[in-house]
Amino acid sequence: MKQMKLFLGPQHPGMHGNASVHLYVDGDIIKRSFLLPGMLHRGFEKGMERHSWVNNISLIPRVCVVEPDINEMAFAMGTEKLLGIVVPERAHWIRMIILELARLSIHLMAYGGLGGPTGNYTLMYHAHADRNSILDIFEQITGHRVYHQYIVTGGVRKDLPKGIEKDIHTFIDSLESRYEEYRDLGIENPSIVARIKDTIMLPESVVWELGVTGIGMRSAVGKPYDIRKVMPYARYDQVDFEVPTSDYSDARARIDCKLKEVIQSISIIRQCIEKMPLGPVRVPLGRGQSMRWTVPKGYVYSPVESSRGEFGYYMVSNGGTHPWRIGVRGASYPQGLLGIEKYMPGTRLDDAALWVDTMGVCSPEIDR
Amino acid sequence: MLVNILIGFGVAFFGFVLQTSVAGVNRKIVARLQKRYGPKWYQEFLDIFKLLSKRATSHGWIFDFGVIMALGGIIATAMFMPITNNIVAFAGYDNFFIFVYLLAVGMLGMAMSASGSGNPFASIGVMRALTTMLAYEVPFMIVVLTIIKLSDSSSLSLIGAFQQSAGNNWFLIALPLGGVVGLISLMGMLGKKPFETYIAPAEIASGPMVEYGGKQLGMLFIMHEITVFIEVSLFVHLFLGGAENIFIFLIKYFLVYTALNLISNVNGRFKIDQVVKFYYKWPLIMAVTQAIIAIYFGWVI
Amino acid sequence: MTNSMSNVEYLKGVIGQTYKVLETDVIDQYQVSFVVKQDDVLQVLVTLKNAGWIQMSYLSAIDWPDENKFEMVYILMNWERPVHVQVRTKIDRNDPVMPSIITIYPGAKYYERECHEFFGVKFPGNPDYEKQLILELWDDMPPLRKDFDPQAYSDRKFTKREYSEDYKVLSEEPSKKAKRETRKERAESLKGGPKS
Amino acid sequence: MKSTKFTPARKLSKEEVDRKWWEIGDFFRRNSLWMLMYCTGCCAIELPPAMTSAYDMERLGMGPMATPRQADILLISGYLSVKSLRRVIYTYEQMGEPKYVVGLGSCPINGGIYHDSHAVINQLDQYLPVDTYVAGCMPNTESVMNGFVDLMEQIRNKTAKGWVKYQENNEWYKKNQKAALGEVDVHDEFHE
């Protein structure tokens, strides 16, 4: 049979972000496929070498567009490891609030993104409406809606504004009250269940072969392999939370885990606000001009748990004012490139956009 | 005869204006469902006239001719559509089967034109559209044939008048199973979710319309509006007892379209095989059951 | 996770006994780095994979032009014994060849492709490491090498916006200028790190 | 001659008739701007809030469209890598006229934070005619919306003539594109 070549992207409403999936289809079945990344490449790793450690703080959030805070956290943790700084107690808790709010925001966006490939735009509108409230809270805390540059080496940039706890509580209460509604609109909706149940499987063997992490791995393996649990950073060891897992990884189980994580994040934020001590939020990094701030020699890999999996910065310093090399491990790198090449063939054309969406492929962190 | 043709064009124009306004109002209603404010109610008119004011790209004469054929076919179909019992352009020719056959001309024109664009997404979309058509026509036809058998006529205005004379015992109530089948089939005809498979922007980039822009797309939009008018009016006449006067028609029309639109907007989209399986399962069983009950046992509420 | 330090000891035992480790660095309780010889890398990776480090998190290279070496980095992860392992080795910079590890970790395929694209390291064993992945129609040396200057490349290729003179810096007095120069020199001198 | 109600209207020349039609067309065009869903860069993340309930750009008659043929606005949302630029030019040339280009963020203006990158172009209007820029990294949703309102105002004032410029100076644009990209056309075989 003659195979027809189709492009899913870069300009395609089903594709989130600027990447292209090339599909060779025979009838409706995909026979061969691969991702064409690089449309978002802007030479980040080179750019970071050209900026000083301090200047990089403004550069790193731009690595991953949808979830900038994990970049800041990974970078801050890496430099703190190299410098041997102990971060003040309150800064840890503020960082956790920020990270979990960011996780809520990206999960809402990804869940609303489910509305695109399956066609339920009402879900998308509702999720984005709630996400916008998170952006408003971020704007109050940090002064920016998207790129916050708030988590910096040695703590956070400044203390939380007065009365923000009330806003956060209002928001998470309203989100929690509508949790069931979200489920009904999305993964309990019969017309969507027909699309996502028992398709787009991710078995355990594939997980270990590709190196998929995050929700994809947890929903296949059934064990709480979450960096927040197994190698806790900040103060994740002092809050109670569960890591939702499953051992049947179809698209629905993955989205289900995502929604359950929303509930866990809400609970983490509540505990953080409750347990947060008072005190300083940032240690000063030496005297003098920040451009002359140097970092001792060393190699460090600093991983954090992003919404899509293990996100890490590999940082090498030669003792100078500029990083010698910074490598970014994008969380969706394995499933985005090798996964699409190996495991998308065999699914149907209808499911291609859904595959990319539910596996959580995020092109900016693949291209960098 | 000339007067009839003029009235016919008037009906088609009325259908276009009516459906475009209703669609605009519906966009506002749906926006409220989605926590938004929504566009102006005449936004659809702006969109269509904007498209007509743009420059067009042609992909060969089949592409252009198909669009004109589709629009012409649909206008010709709309000319036969009765609006109330009395406003009928060609009295006595408003037979149900005329609509079935003439609608196909429009659809074929669009299919031809879309295939003429040479875009693979368009061919996939056309293929899906025809498959969907094949799926919903069967149960719908069974129910309509039952109605024709019961009312001893295949003229839309007569079917409407039959229901009115039976004390407003609409077929939606008289044949409950058939009414449900009719609604589900109407959703398929209108391309509402979950049967929106052949548009599917996220999968095949709006399917048959992928290569259209400018004037051709404007004409397709007009065609789409008139098609929707024909299909919803068909439903109003067949299942909701037609209309004695134009206000009743407007109210029924608006309610049917809005209800379907609201249902559509909280649903996802099926895959094409799921669409076919769906129609050949419950609607078909329900339609056949209804036909047997109504015709052989004569059990009509 | 109470015995996290013992995980590190276990790891040291696994590697240190069988292979000659040039340098071991325990960064914290969740991270260890080993520097091994180039010939040992594949064996070390196989051993680690058998010991449970089944996930390859990252693969890349670091350019050390002063020593004329590339340093390859492999970062592995074991979720049962949560320790990230960095395995590093230095290879020749003039003819960088590193055997592919896709038979051990299939997920490394695209990392190697990217590494070839950005550093020019060759990976025999990987079927299409030489294909372009991220860049398109690239016409210069691999961009992450230290001697590649993106500023010069950008100036050469892309037109820059020219601004009118109204936006000039106003503080052009000689004293401030001299101060700026010295500051700049100092910053430049620190950029390369302490000279050994 | 004294003008009365019955004086026949002065016969308009062809240009004047065209201009009248064009003005009517402009009214429709500025009230129904369809933008292409092509997220070229990170500023696209501020488009969902603009599209959804927070700011609801459908009030202005704007909406996302699936294919370039149907769209009126090409949004350059953020930085453009050379690889993207090839596809953007390809997309732009597919769009039906009149068409408008809006550049979001600092990067299309002067390179922004990526001014020294080896992969990101610095000045978009060398390669495509841009009608409106929205500055900021990233621009707030308010400014994004304001940019669209500006574009509508430009259409009303007949200053949004980017597509005419592209036709008239096509050789100049093509020369710039060639200088930056090497090869402008997209080949699928680049990566196979």
Model pLDDT for residues D8-26, shown as the tens digit of each residue: 667 778 888 888 888 888 8
Indicate the residue of A316, A321, A322 with minimum beta-carbon distance to C62.
Answer: A316
Mean pLDDT of all residues in A23-29: 84
What does the alpha-carbon distance between residue C161 and residue A217 come to, in Å, rounded to a whole number? 47
Range of the domain at C34: 4-160
Could you tell me the pLDDT band of residue C3, with boundaries at 50, 70 and 90? low
Please, which chains are in contact with A (at least 3 CB pairs closer than 8 A)? B, C, D
Asked whether the beta carbons of residue C118 and residue A292 sit closer than 8 angstroms, the reply is no
> Which of the pair, A78 or A8, is modelled with greater confidence?
A78
Please give the residue of chain A at the shortest CA–CA distance from D71: A11
Are the C-beta atoms of A38 and C133 separated by less than 8 Å? Answer: yes
Contacts of B232 (CB under 8 A, 6+ apart): B19, B186, B190, B253, B256, B257
Instruction: List CB contacts of A160: < 8 A, sequence separation 6 or more.
Output: A94, A97, A141
Distance set, CA A278 to CA A88, A137, A281, D104 (Å): 10, 21, 9, 41
Whether D49 and chain A come into contact, CB under 8 Å, resolves to yes
As for the ipTM of the complex, it is 0.84
**What length is written for chain A?**
368
**Within a 13 Å sphere around the CA of B69, how many CA atoms are in the beta-carbon half?**
18
CA distance A60 to A147: 9
Q: Measured between alpha carbons, how far is A295 from B266 in angstroms, rounded to an integer?
A: 54
Mean pLDDT in residue range D99-127: 85
CA A343 to chain centre: 22
Do the domain assignments include residue D159? yes
Closest chain B CA to residue D31: B46
Would you say the pTM of this structure is higher than 0.95?
A: no
Name chain B contacts of D52, Cβ cutoff 8 Å. Answer: 34-36
Backbone angles phi, psi at C58, to 5 degrees: -155, 145
Least confident of B74-83, B165-174, D77-86, D92-101: B165-174
Q: Could you please report the per-residue DSSP string of B215-269? A: HHHHHHHHHHHHHHHHHHHHHHHHHS---SSHHHHHHHHHHHHHHHHHHHTT---
C144-192, pLDDT tens digit by residue? 888 888 888 888 888 888 777 665 565 667 778 888 888 888 777 776 6
Q: How many CB atoms lie within 10 A of CB A146?
A: 24
The alpha-carbon gap from B36 to the nearest alpha carbon of chain A, in Å, equals: 8
Q: Is A143 on the interface with D (CB under 8 A)?
A: no
* DSSP label of A146: S
One-letter identity of residue B101: Y
Helix or strand run (H / E) with residue C34: strand C31-36
Single-letter residue type at D155: I
pLDDT confidence of residue C1: 45
**Average pLDDT for chain D:** 83
Check: CB of residue A183 under 8 Å from CB of residue A315: no
CA torsion sign, D105 to D110 to D112 to D115? positive
Q: Is the pLDDT of residue D1 over 70?
A: no
Residue B46 to residue D97, Cβ atoms within 8 A: no
pLDDT at A1 over 60: no
Cα D37 from Cα D75, distance rounded (Å): 8
Structural domain count of chain C: 1
Question: What tokens were used for A287?
Answer: 């005297």
* Amino acid code (one letter) for A166: K
Q: Region A61-79: what's the mean pLDDT?
A: 86
Looking at residue C170, what is its pLDDT? 59
Of D68, D119, D140, the CB nearest to A42: D119
* Angle between helix B96-116 and B120-151 (nearest 10): 180
Q: How far apart are CA A280 and CA B246, in angstroms?
A: 74
Range of the domain at D65: 29-181
CATH classification number, A42-329, choose in 3.10.450.50, 3.90.550.10, 1.10.645.10, 2.60.40.2240: 1.10.645.10
Question: Cβ of D118 under 8 Å from any chain A Cβ?
Answer: yes
Q: Which residue has the higher pLDDT, D170 or B242?
A: D170
CB atoms within 10 A of CB C64: 17
Alpha carbon distance B81, B280 (integer Å) = 29
> Inter-chain contact A195–B268, Cβ cutoff 8 Å?
yes
Q: How far is Cα C163 from Cα C171, in angstroms, rounded to an integer? A: 18
Print burial letters for C3-19: b (CB count within 10 Å at least 16), e (below 16). Answer: eeeebbebbeebbeeeb
**C92/A347 Cα distance (integer angstroms):** 44
Which one of A39, A65, A128 has the shortest CB-CB distance to D81?
A39
Task: Please give the structure tokens belonging to residue A306.
Answer: 């992003």
CB-based burial label for C94 (10 Å; 0-12, 13-18, 19+) = exposed
Separation between Cα atoms, residue C53 and residue C76, nearest integer Å: 6
Task: Determine the pLDDT at residue D55.
Answer: 86
Give yes or no for A6 touching D (CB within 8 A): no
How many domains, in total, are found in chain D? 1
CATH number of the domain within which C59 lies:
3.30.460.80
Instruction: Name the percent of chain D lying above pLDDT 90.
Output: 0
Provide the residue-wise pLDDT of chain B in tens; the chain has 301 residues: 788 888 888 888 888 898 999 999 998 998 888 888 888 888 888 888 888 888 877 778 888 888 888 888 888 888 888 887 777 767 777 888 888 888 888 888 888 888 888 788 888 888 888 888 888 888 888 888 888 888 888 888 888 888 887 776 787 777 888 888 888 888 888 888 888 887 777 777 777 778 887 888 888 889 888 888 988 888 888 888 777 888 888 888 899 899 989 988 888 888 888 888 888 888 889 888 888 888 777 777 6
**pLDDT, tens digit, 9 for 90 and up, residues A147-191:** 888 888 888 888 888 888 888 889 989 988 988 888 888 888 888
- Which residue of C lies nearest to D190 if distances are taken between CA atoms? C136
Q: Two tokens at D159?
A: 């200053």
CATH of the domain at D128: 3.40.50.12280
Rounded alpha-carbon distances, angstroms, from residue D192 to A17, A364, C134, D183: 22, 22, 13, 17
Q: Which residues in chain C touch residue D181, judged by CB atoms under 8 angstroms apart? A: 137
On the question of pLDDT at A134 being above 70, the answer is yes
CA A242/CA A260 separation, integer angstroms:
9
- pLDDT tens profile A27-62: 788 888 888 888 888 888 888 888 888 888 888 888
Residue A286 confidence (pLDDT) above 70:
no
pLDDT band of C196, cuts 50, 70, 90: very low
Tokens read off for A193: 């269940």
- Residue located via tokens 């299939």: C106
Minimum Cα–Cα distance from A36: chain C residue:
C133
Q: Which two tokens stand for residue B239?
A: 């299942």
Q: Within a 13 Å sphere around the CA of A271, how many CA atoms are in the beta-carbon half?
A: 16
Q: How does residue C5 score in pLDDT terms, banded at 50, 70 and 90?
A: low
Distance CA B149, CA B145 (A): 6
Q: Tokens for B151? A: 């009312």
**pLDDT exceeds cutoff 70 at C2:** no
| Tokens, residue C191 | 């950029």
The model's pLDDT over D146-165, given as tens digits with 9 standing for 90+, comes to 888 888 888 888 888 888 88
User: What's the confidence (pLDDT) of residue B233?
Assistant: 87
The reported pLDDT for the residue numbered C194 is 55
Residue D192 predicted with pLDDT over 70:
no
- CB of A299 closer than 8 Å to CB of A109: no
Residues in chain C whose Cβ is within 8 Å of chain D: 131-133, 135-137, 139-140, 143, 148, 150-151, 153-154, 157-161
Interface check for B114 against chain D (CB to CB < 8 A): the answer is no
Taking Cα atoms as reference points, which of A323, A357, A288 lies closest to residue A111? Answer: A357
